[in-house]
Amino acid sequence: MTLIVLLGAPGAGKGTQAAVLRDRLGIPHVATGDLFRAAIREGTPVGREAKAYMDAGQLVPDRVTIRMLEERLAAPDAADGAILDGFPRTAVQAAALDDFLGRRGSRVDAALLIDVPAEDLVDRLSGRWICQAAGHPYHATMNRPRASGVCDVDGSPLVQRADDRPETIRARLAGQLDDLNAVVEHYRSTGALRTVNGLRPIAEVSGGLLEALEAGTAGVA
């Protein structure tokens, strides 16, 4: 089982890079944000509980999030591992993931931190467009689709995420960075942390992440 955790502030590029790693490593991309957005669309109890927190730019409570993630990791397509995007987000979630994997004789192989300064995150989030069908991410200036307003992968229309409004972006950045730091420290202490400079073109960040995985040692790529 290969378990990779992608860490980074909102807008650091976790979703963009998780898709690259998924294609390269052949294990599923599991994003708790995507799971919550699907639950909201389907109107499930988890979706109804998560919506108010997401609209306010706050983290969904650990108890709901951990149960949802564990159910997803128990699915057959994750038997060989997964790339986690957006989980763990708190020290409690990180400890729960260690317990879950420990019960299966496994552990987090690498926690890859995509490091982007806070001042660049607002531009990334406010310029983001995602496709309606599958959430493939684009950017108005830094990662444009081939045809305006249409997804390159599946042809569906591009839309803006509800939590990419300026006031919600500010709340996400203000409210979630302390928790991110706690998770970063958790993986620094286990030796799984590797930091990659995220302030480069997308392909270069992908190269840095793959190098960090191959090197298998802590450091900056």
CB of 175 to ligand AP5, least distance (A): 8
144 is catalytic: no
Rounded-to-5 percentages of helix, strand, coil across the chain: 50, 15, 30
Catalytic residue among 72, 124, 172, 194: 172
* Known catalytic membership, residue 89: yes
The sheet carrying 128-131 orders its strands as 137-139, 128-131, 158-159
Catalytic pick among 72, 89, 124, 194: 89
Q: Which amino acid is at 127?
A: G
The residue (of 34 and 217) whose beta carbon lies closer to ligand AP5 is: 34
For 115, list phi and psi in degrees, rounded to 5: -95, 115
Q: How far is CA 39 from CA 44, 51, 129, 171, in A?
A: 5, 9, 20, 22
The candidate with the shortest Cα–Cα distance to 64, out of 42, 89, 27, is 89
Distance in angstroms (rounded) separating the CA atoms of residues 142 and 124: 8
- The residue within the footprint of ligand AP5, chosen from 29, 72, 128, 186 (CB under 6 A), is 128
Give the per-residue contact string, 105-124, with ligand AP5 (x = CB under 6 A; - = no): -------------------x
Between 38 and 202, CB nearer to ligand AP5: 202
Q: Is 84 in the site for ligand AP5 (CB under 6 A)?
A: no
Q: How many CB atoms lie within 10 A of CB 126?
A: 15
Residues forming beta bridges with residue 6, ordered by sequence position: 85, 112
Residues of this chain, 36-65, that bind ligand AP5 according to CB under 6 A: 36, 53-54, 57-60, 65
Per CB under 6 A, 135 contacts ligand AP5: no
Question: Residue 68 interacts with ligand AP5 (CB under 6 A)?
Answer: no
32 binds ligand AP5 (CB under 6 A): yes
Burial, 214: exposed, middle or buried (Cβ in 10 Å; 0-12, 13-18, 19+)? exposed
The least CB distance from residue 217 to ligand AP5, in Å, is: 23
- Report if residue 186 touches ligand AP5, rule: CB under 6 A: no
Q: Would you please indicate which residues are annotated as catalytic (active-site) residues?
A: 14, 89, 128, 161, 172
Question: Site residues (CB under 6 A) for ligand AP5?
Answer: 8, 10-16, 31-33, 36, 53-54, 57-60, 65, 86-87, 89, 93, 124-125, 127-128, 137-139, 142-143, 163, 172, 198, 200-202, 205
